Amino acid sequence: MLKALLARAHQGHRTVGFPDRPPVLPDRLRGRPQIDSTKCPDGCHVCADVCPTDAIAVSEKGVQLDLGRCLFCPECERACPEGAIRFTTEHRLATSSRDALVLGEKEFQLAQALDKKSRKLFGRSLKLRQVSAGGCNGCEADVNVLNTVVFDLGRFGIQFVASPRHADGVLITGPVTRNMEAALRETYAAVPAPKLVIAVGACAISGGPYFGHAEQRNGAEGVLPVDLYVPGCPPHPITILEGLLRLLGRINSTCGNLPDMR
Amino acid sequence: MSADSISAVRNGEKVNLADLPPVAFDEFRETILSAVEAGAHLSALFGAIVPEAGSQRGRKAVDPGGLRLFAMLAREEEGTLTLTSTHIGDAYAALTPDCPQAHWFEREIAEQWGIRPDGHPWLKPIRFHHSYREGYDAWNRPAEISISPGVTDYFTMTGEEVHEVAVGPVHAGIIEPGHFRFQCHGEKVYHLEISLGYQHRGIERALIGGPNKRTIPGMETLAGDTTIGHTLAYCEAVESLAGCRVPARAQALRAIALELERLANHTGDLGALAGDVGYLPTASFCGRVRGDFLNLTALICGNRFGRGLVRPGGILFDFDDSRQAQFKERLEQGRKDVTNAVNLLWEAPSVRSRFENAGPVSRDTALGLGLVGVVARASGIERDVRAQFPSGIYRFAQIPVSLYHSGTVFARAHVRWMEIQRSLAFIFDQLKALPDGPVQAEIGPLAANHTVVSLTEGWRGEICHVALTDAAGKFAHYKVVDPSFHNWMGLAMALRDQQISDFPLCNKSFNLSYCGHDL
C-alpha cells in the first residue's frame, strides 16, 4: 500500500488544464490547414494532384479543401511550390454540418451547441456508445485515451457505456464497412431517443483512405443522421474533446477564424 | 526436391519472377510440409493471379485466369526464408490436415479465389465477402446473394447444462468488432470460436495497380496502431524493387519510430492488463505513460501514430539537435514513469495470482499454429524478425530476443516488460550515435516482373508483406499478413479449460488487431 502511495506521488497530477487553459500540442501537429489562394500560380493544381483522398479542388474561386476527406498528411503542403497551403497547429476542427468542413471561400464555422432542450438533457451527463465500423484502431485509440487521467472525460459528465440502452448517442469511427452496417444500425436503433450521432475521423465522415472501396459505405452519413463531425486521421484527442464540449455548449464562440499568419 | 523448386531469399531481396518458376503441386506441398517439420513457420500462404514470366515479351500468358499459390517459409534457427509457388486449379489437397498452421491461410485462399482445399477440416469464410474471381465460390454461393458476416456454422457442444455464450460484434468497450462464441459448462470454457471480418475494408484488393497516391494511406491504416510497422514493411519492399538505398540516418530514425510504437503499445497493454484484474494504480499510470510515448512520435512527425513519417526512400521529418534534446529528456521521464508503474504491478500479489496460470499456450501448440510475436516468445519460441531476419539498422544494432517459457498471461505481460526495457535501451543507444546525412533518397520506378518479401517486427509480431509486380512495374498482387492473422487461433486455444470470466484478461494479453486481420 505504501509503495502504491509513493508511486502515486512519483507519477504526480497529470490532467490537462484544457479547456480552462489552451492545450499543449506538438509543434509539428498538422491541425487546421490555412489556405492562401492568392499565392497560387495560374493553372497550378499540384496540391489536388497529390492529395490521396481528392480532398482538394482547385477552381477559379481558389483552393477548396474538404476537411471531411483530409487525412492531414503532409503531401499537399510539401508539394505546393508557393506555400499556399500550410498546416497550422489549430486543433479546433469539429463542425455541425458536412458543408462546414469545406475550407475555402467562407468563414470556417465551428460546431454549434445543441439547442437548449437537448443541452438540458445531455449537457451535464452524456453517455455514448462507441461503434467501430471499420476503423483502423487509430480513432478508437484516441477516443479511448479520453478516459485516461490526462483528459479525464468523466469530469465533464461524459462517459462511454457498454450498452446502447444506457446511451444518449453513438460515436462512430471507421468508414462503415458493409460487414458492420447492420450492427451499426441495430446499435443505433437500440439507443433511446432523443439521440446523437458523432462521426469521428475521416473514415466516419467520408470513407477516408477507403473512399470508393466497394467493401464500405463512405462514412456514416448515408447510414445515420450525423450531429457532430470531428475530422482527422485520427483527430488529436484534444480535437475530439473540444468537439464534444462544444456540442454540449461548454465552449462558446463559434467563430473559427485562424489568426492571420501570413 | 529439385534445387530450383524453391528460392532462398533474404528479407527485402527482390527476385525476378522468371527465377521462381512454379513447381508441381506435390513438390510445393512437400516443400512446405518438410520445412514446417524442420521448424519453419508459414509467414505467408496466398493465392495470386500474376503475369507469367516471359509474357511481356510478346508471348501469350499461360491461362491468364490461372491462379498461383505462393508460400513463404521462415526458418528462424537458420535465418533462412524460402519462397515457392505452384499453379492450382479449382481444388487441391489441403495442407491443413498435415500442417495446422495452414488452417487460416487456406480458409482465406478459398474465400478470396473460390477454390476448395479438399480435406480442410473446417472450411469456413474468414472475412465474409464475395470471391475475387467472378464465377468462383468455394461454397457455391450465387453471386447475387449478399453475404452476412458471422453467418456460418460454429462448433457446438451438447449436453445437460452446457451453454453457449455469444459476444459481439459490438463489444462493451471502445474496441473493434468481432464475434466470439464460447462453448461452456458452468464457468468453464471448452472451446472458443472466433469469427471476424467485420472490419474488412478491401485494402489489399485496392493496392493492385499501385503504387499510387492512395497506397501509403492504405498502408498506414492496415492496422492503425501499427502505422510504423506496416508502412516500414511496405517501404522496404518497394525500396528493394526500385533499388533505392535508404540513408543511414533515416534507417536509424525509422527504427526509433518502430521501437516507440512498441513502447507505447506494450505500456498501454500492461496498463490494460492491470485494469482487467482491477489493479487501478498501474492501469491509470500506464494509460497516461502510453500517451507520453505516442506524443514523442508526434514530436518527431506531428502525428501520435507516426502517420506522415515513413515514406519510400526514407522519412519526411528530420530530427534536429534541439528536438533530440527534448526527446531524450521526455523519454527518460517516460522510462522512469513506466518503470515505477510496472514494478508496482509485479509487487502486487493479487495481480500475480491472477496473471499466473491464466490462458496458457504450450510451446508445442504455439509452434503447431505458427504463432508469432510476443505471444510466441512468451511460449518460449525464439522468433523475432529483428534478430533473425534483420533489415535496416537492425542489421547493425541488435536487440536481444525477449523470452519466457510458461505461455500464460503472466508470460505475455513479462515479455512485454522486457521488450519495453530493451526498446528504451535501443532508442537511447541509437540517439547516442545517430548517423549524419540526409533522411531521404530519391526512389525510381519498381522493377517489372519481380517479387519481394519484406518482414518487420511490429509490436504484435511478424509483419509480412509480399509484393509482385507486372510488366509495367505495377503491383500485380500485394499480400499483407498481419501478426494477428497468425495469432487469433492462439487466443482460442488459450481459452480452453479456462474460466469464461478470464476472457477479457486473456484477450488483452494477446491484444490482437481486428482490422489487421480483416484488412
Interface of A with B in 209-238 (CB under 8 A): 209-210, 213-216, 233-234, 236
Question: What whole-number distance in Å separates Cα of residue A34 and Cα of residue A45?
Answer: 16
Cβ contacts of A164 on chain B, cutoff 8 Å? 170
State which residue of chain A sits closest to B206, comparing Cα positions: A213
Min distance A115 CA to chain B CA atoms (Å): 28
Residue-wise pLDDT tens digits, A25-68: 999 999 999 999 999 998 899 999 999 999 999 998 899 999 99
Task: State whether B213 and A51 contact (CB < 8 Å).
Answer: yes
Q: What are phi and psi of B474, to 5 degrees?
A: -105, 160
As a whole number of angstroms, the distance between CA B101 and CA B376 comes to 13
Q: Let me know if residue A2 belongs to a domain.
A: no
In 3D space, the residue among A4, A253, A23, A32 whose CA is nearest the CA of residue A151 turns out to be: A23
- What tens digit of pLDDT does each residue of B21-35 get? 899 999 999 999 999
Task: Work out the number of other CB atoms within 10 angstroms of the CB of residue A214.
Answer: 12
Inspect the interface and report whether the beta carbons of B287 and A187 lie closer than 8 Å. Answer: no
| pTM score of the predicted model | 0.95
* CATH code (residue A124): 3.40.50.12280
Q: Quick check: A106 contacting B, CB < 8 Å?
A: no
pLDDT for position A189: 97
What is the DSSP annotation of A188-246? Answer: HHHSPSS-EEEEESHHHHH-GGGTT-TTB-SSSTTTS--SEEE-SSSPPHHHHHHHHHH
Chain B residues with CB inside 8 Å of A165's CB? none
Amino acid, single-letter form, for residue B129: H
Q: Which residues of B touch A216 (CB under 8 A)?
A: 201-202
Tens of pLDDT, residues B58-101: 344 444 458 999 999 999 988 889 999 999 888 899 999 999 99
Average pLDDT rounded to a whole number, residues A152-177: 96
Tell which residue, B456, B466, B452, B453, has the closest CA to residue B388.
B456
Higher-confidence residue of B135 and B446: namely: B446
Chain A nearest-CA residue for B347 = A3
Q: Residue A173 falls within a domain, yes or no?
A: yes
DSSP per-residue codes, B399-445 = -PPP--SS-SHHHHHHHHHHHHHHHHHHHHHHHHT---S-SB----P
Question: Does A150 touch chain B if contact means CB atoms closer than 8 Å?
Answer: yes
Q: Is A79 on the interface with B (CB under 8 A)?
A: no
Q: How far apart are the first and last CA of chain B?
A: 35
What are the E-state strand segments in B216-313?
310-311
CB–CB contact B220 A209 (8 Å) = yes
Nearest to B175 among A71, A140, A180 (CB): A140
Q: Is residue A54 part of a domain?
A: no
**Banded model confidence at residue A98, pLDDT cuts 50, 70, 90:** very high
Among B50-54, B233-237, B319-323, B374-378, the minimum mean pLDDT is found in: B50-54
Q: Is A13 on the interface with B (CB under 8 A)?
A: no
Confirm if B222 and B479 have CB atoms less than 8 A apart. no
The domain tally of chain A equals 1
Torsion, Cα of A249, A250, A255, A260 (10° steps): -170
**What is the Cα gyration radius of chain A?**
19
**Domain interval for residue A228:** 116-247
CA distance B231 to chain A (A): 14
Cα–Cα separations (whole angstroms), residue B35 to A87, B8, B9, B78:
52, 12, 15, 12
Give contacts of A 34-63 with B, CB under 8 A.
50-53
Q: Band of the pLDDT at A256, cuts 50, 70, 90?
A: low
**How far, in Å, CA of B263 to CA of B332, rounded?**
13
User: Which pLDDT score, from 0 to 100, does residue B78 have?
Assistant: 87
Distances (CA, A) of A24 to A12, B113, B289, B332, B341: 18, 50, 16, 20, 24
Per DSSP, the three-state class of A20 is coil
Q: Convert A76-99 to b/e letters by CB count within 10 Å (16 or more is b).
A: bbeebeeebbbbeebbbbbbbebe
Is-contact B494 B506, C-beta < 8 A?
A: yes
Residue A72, phi then psi, degrees to nearest 5: 55, 35
Q: Decide if B220 and A137 are in contact by the 8 Å CB cutoff.
A: no
In the predicted model, is pLDDT for residue B420 greater than 90?
A: yes
Res. B477: pLDDT tops 50: yes
Cβ atoms B84, B45 nearer than 8 A: no
Give the dihedral sign, CA A22/A28/A31/A32: positive
ipTM: 0.94
Q: Which three cell numbers stand for residue B32?
A: 512446405
Residues of chain B with C-beta less than 8 angstroms from the C-beta of A53: 214, 217
**Does A74 map to a domain?**
no
Please, which residues bridge with residue A196 across strands? A169
Please, are residues B454 and B236 in contact by the beta-carbon 8 Å criterion? yes
| A143 in B contact zone (CB under 8 Å) | yes
Hey, of B280, B285, B290, B303, which one would you mutate to test binding to chain A, going by the most A CBs within 10 A of its CB? B303
CA-to-CA distance for B215 and B221, rounded, in angstroms?
10
Minimal Cβ distance to A183: which of B169, B221, B225: B169
Contacts A144 to B, Cβ<8 Å? 173-174
- C-alpha distances (whole Å) from A98 to each of A69, A91, B13, B263 are 10, 18, 46, 37
Locate A105 and state its grid cell.
471561400
Closest residue in A to B265 (Cα) is A141
Residues in chain B closer than 8 A to A141 (CB atoms): 224-225, 305
Lowest-confidence region among B56-60, B296-300, B331-335, B494-498: B56-60
Tell me the nearest-neighbour CA distance from B324 into chain A, angstroms: 14
Cβ(B230)–Cβ(B220) under 8 Å? yes
pLDDT band at B134 (very low <50, low <70, confident <90, very high): confident
Q: Where are the beta strands (DSSP E) in B146-208?
A: 162-167, 179-185, 188-195
pLDDT band at A106; cut points 50, 70, 90? confident
A139 chain-B contacts, CB cut-off 8 A: 224
pLDDT value, residue B6 = 59
Binary contact (B340, A214; C-beta < 8 A): no
How many residue pairs from chains A and B have C-beta atoms closer than 8 A? Answer: 189
Q: How far apart are CA B261 and CA A34, in angstroms?
A: 30
Which residues in chain B have their CB less than 8 angstroms from residue A78's CB? 316
3-class DSSP state of B33? helix
Residue A260 has pLDDT above 50, yes or no: no
Q: Find out whether A159 and A151 touch, Cβ atoms under 8 Å.
A: no
Residue B432 reports pLDDT greater than 60: yes
Chain B: residue whose CA lies nearest to A12: B285
Question: Nearest C-alpha of chain A: how many angstroms from B167?
Answer: 12
User: What pLDDT is recorded for position B55?
Assistant: 46
Of B460, B469, B506, B518, the residue nearest B487 (C-alpha): B460
Domains of chain B and any CATH numbers: 3-143 (3.30.460), 203-483 (1.10.645.10)
Alpha-carbon Rg for chain B, nearest whole angstrom, is 23
Q: CB neighbours (10 Å) of residue B444?
A: 11
Contacts of B176 in chain A (CB under 8 A): 132, 135, 137, 140
Q: Give domain status of residue A198, yes or no.
A: yes
- Our CA-based measurement puts residue B343 at a distance from the nearest CA of chain A, in whole angstroms, of 10
Residue A159 belongs to a domain: yes
Tell me which of B134, B174, B196 to substitute to probe the interface with A (most A C-beta atoms closer than 10 Å). Answer: B174
Nearest 5°: phi and psi at B180?
-125, 135
pLDDT of residue B65: 53
pLDDT greater than 50 at residue B57: no
Task: Select from A14, A210, A234 the Cβ nearest to the Cβ of B201.
Answer: A210
B283's CB contacts (< 8 A; 6+ apart) are: B271, B272, B274, B275
Task: Report yes or no on A77 lying in a domain.
Answer: no
Residue B414 to residues A230, B249, B343, B460, B518, Cα–Cα distance (Å): 38, 32, 11, 14, 28
In percent, how much of chain A has pLDDT > 70? 96
Task: Say whether pLDDT at B1 is over 70.
Answer: no
Q: Indicate yes or no: CB of B177 within 8 angstroms of CB of A216.
A: no
**What is the sign, positive or negative, of the torsion defined by CA atoms of B168, B174, B177, B178?**
negative
The average pLDDT across B354-379 equals 96
Q: Is the distance from CB of A178 to CB of A220 less than 8 angstroms?
A: no
CB contact under 8 Å between A141 and B224, yes or no, is yes
Does A172 fall in a domain? yes
CB B43 within 8 A of CB B104: no
More confident residue, B53 or B154: B154
Question: Which class for B187: exposed (0-12), middle (13-18), buried (19 or more C-beta within 10 A)?
Answer: exposed
CB-CB under 8 Å, A132 with B177:
yes
User: Residue A184's closest chain B neighbor by CA?
Assistant: B170
Total Cβ atoms within 10 A of residue A114: 22
Phi, psi of B514 (to 5 degrees): -80, -50
Buried b (16+ CB within 10 A) or exposed e, B34-67: ebbeeebbbbbbbbbbbbbbebeeeeebeeeeeb
Q: What's the average model confidence in pLDDT over B436-442?
A: 95
- Rounded distance, CA B440 to CA A168, Å? 49
Percent of chain B with pLDDT over 70: 96
Average pLDDT, chain B: 93
